[in-house]
Amino acid sequence: MKPEERTVKPTLTETDAKEERSSSRLVRILAVAGVITLALLIAFVVYLLSPGTPTDRIRDIFIIFMALEGLVIGIALLVLVVQLAVLINLIQHEIRPILDSTTQTVQTLQGTATFLSEHVAEPVIKLNETVAALGAIVTALKFVRGRSKK
């Protein structure tokens, strides 16, 4: 078998193997957490359905926890809105001027390239054409002169 005909089999690098192990570990941890949460939920429902359970007290505690959770979510949304305002300010006052100056630079470069093309490249190309034509004429004259001597 020729070396060119061999196929190269992709091999897992060490970092790819580590990433694969960490992702499978994360999946296992999430699966165990889901099973534990489901088991706790079933145990809690069974406890609430048993006679003599002070469900009114548990209900009140649950309502308090829900209110606290709503408060935390409200604070998180407020922080998110502030961060969004900071990002918008950054885009308007920092990034837009950079983009404007970049656009101006690109336009200047485009003008420079056009100028160089018209005033440098075209004359050089025409000069090369003329020199090539003169060279061809000189070569033809040498060929004709060489035949006439014979």
Band (pLDDT 50/70/90 cuts) for residue 143 is: confident
Residue 43 lies in a domain: yes
108/106 Cα distance (integer angstroms): 5
The CA–CA distances, whole Å, from 143 to 132, 140, 147 equal: 16, 5, 6
Phi/psi class of residue 46: alpha, beta or left (left: φ > 0; alpha: ψ in -120 to 50)?
Answer: alpha
What is the domain range of residue 35? 20-53
Residue 41 lies in a domain: yes
Band (pLDDT 50/70/90 cuts) for residue 18 is: confident
Residue 29 lies in a domain: yes
Say which range, 20-29, 100-109, 140-149, has the weakest mean pLDDT: 140-149
Residue 82 lies in a domain: no
Q: Calculate Rg over the CA atoms of the chain.
A: 40
Residue 138 lies in a domain: no
Residue 44 lies in a domain: yes
- Residue range 98-112: mean pLDDT, rounded: 92
| Percentage of the chain modeled with pLDDT above 70 | 89
pLDDT digit string, tens, across residues 111-127: 999 988 888 888 889 99
The CA–CA distances, whole Å, from 93 to 57, 99, 102 equal: 54, 11, 15
Residue 127 lies in a domain: no
Cβ-Cβ contacts under 8 Å for 55 (sequence gap 6 or more): 48
Residue 27 lies in a domain: yes
Q: Is the pLDDT of residue 102 over 60?
A: yes
Domains contained in the chain, number:
1
Band (pLDDT 50/70/90 cuts) for residue 12 is: low
pLDDT digit string, tens, across residues 54-95: 888 888 888 999 999 999 999 999 999 999 999 999 988 888
Mean pLDDT of the chain: 86
Say which range, 22-31, 38-47, 115-124, 139-148, has the weakest mean pLDDT: 139-148
User: Quick one: pLDDT at residue 17?
Assistant: 77
